[in-house]
Amino acid sequence: MQRLCQLGCNFGQGYLFSRPLPVDEIENLMLNNLQKIQYLKWLPAADSLENQDALEIKRLQ
């Protein structure tokens, strides 16, 4: 995951984030995590060690 961030990858899918879900569960997952999703859109690109450290700290919170 860290390497993908370093390469500027802003999108992800698959088991790293969630097992396959039916549509209604995906909708619930997104609605329940809307605040986190909106926050992630505004994170700086992970192109420096400082940003990597900041992203890791945010993930752990």
> 56 is in which domain, residue-wise?
2-60
- The letter for the amino acid at 39 is Y
Mean pLDDT, the chain, integer: 68
Does the pLDDT value for residue 17 go beyond 60? yes
- For residue 56, the SS3 value is helix
Total tally of structural domains belonging to the chain: 1
User: Residue 43: what pLDDT?
Assistant: 58
Residue 21 has pLDDT above 70, yes or no: yes
Least confident range of 2-6, 47-51, 52-56: 47-51
For 18, counting Cβ atoms within 10 Å of its Cβ (0-12 exposed, 13-18 middle, 19+ buried), the class is exposed
